[in-house]
Structure 1
């Protein structure tokens, strides 16, 4: 799995989504679009793709990504942007666009991780004749008959 390709795809989709949601419909600056894109890319990759996707699956990772993007744009947008209408619609539109692009990114990540798992499982297979069993028991303390 090429992590730089995944990060580049996520950053490109975030830049496009915020350009549409914040700049096309409303009046946001280029610095706002780039800062939101970098923030969402890093947070979404670390939380959604590295933690939630392997443990809970694709659907839950997409739901978490949507709410993470919506909440982060809402919180940081209230600091940087002036209009509540811009914050509300911008966060909904951007979260929808980024979540729809996350579907393709998650498919790529799951497909490449499955291919890597198959390659590593073929290389590290054990010879069944060399596999040894192990017995475990609890040691009992010897009795003191001489006291």
Structure 2
């Protein structure tokens, strides 16, 4: 149920962002905005929230979500228009709106971390696995063999 809530929050944020960014600068209709929002929501959830967020953290996931939204609007804008200034402003506005909404999504996920399977797995594993061997004790038998 929590996953559906996260997907719904992401989808509503994408619809609002793309309605502002695409409809303001491009001649996008509602079907294009809704379908594009669905694609971005799924891609952002799979890449940003299921892979980046548990492994690296909130800031990296926020940067990935911003860049993903910016790139999606840039690609979509290139299909609709040839004016690069309109594409740039639509991309930036949409990406900032989505990144602002992602802050609340990541807070919601971290507040309800035990309800998400990917968060439970990362909590068991430990968030900072890079230092797991730095403080390990040496095996006495291995040192004597050399």
Q: Report the TM-score when normalising by structure 1.
A: 0.72
Higher-helix-fraction structure: 2
- Label 1:27 to 1:79 Cα distance change in 2 as closer, same or farther (>3 A): closer
Other-structure match for 2:59: 59
Q: Report the TM-score when normalising by structure 2.
A: 0.72
Between the aligned partners of 1:80 and 1:7, the Cα distance in structure 2 is 27
Between the aligned partners of 2:13 and 2:63, the Cα distance in structure 1 is 17
How far the C-alpha of 1:86 sits from its partner, in A, is: 2.6
**Residues 15-30 of structure 1: pairs in structure 2 closer than 5 A:** 15-30=15-30
Other-structure match for 1:49: 49
On the 8 A contact 1:48/1:61 being kept in 2, the answer is: yes
**Bigger CA radius of gyration:** 1
- Label 1:115 to 1:49 Cα distance change in 2 as closer, same or farther (>3 A): closer
On the 8 A contact 1:18/1:37 being kept in 2, the answer is: yes
Contiguous gaps of at least 5 residues in structure 2:
125-146
**CA deviations over 1:46-77 (Å, ceiling 9, x no partner):** 00000000000001110111111111211232
Other-structure match for 1:80: 80
- Label 1:114 to 1:8 Cα distance change in 2 as closer, same or farther (>3 A): same
Contiguous gaps of at least 5 residues in structure 1:
122-147
- State the secondary structure of the residue aligned to 1:27: coil
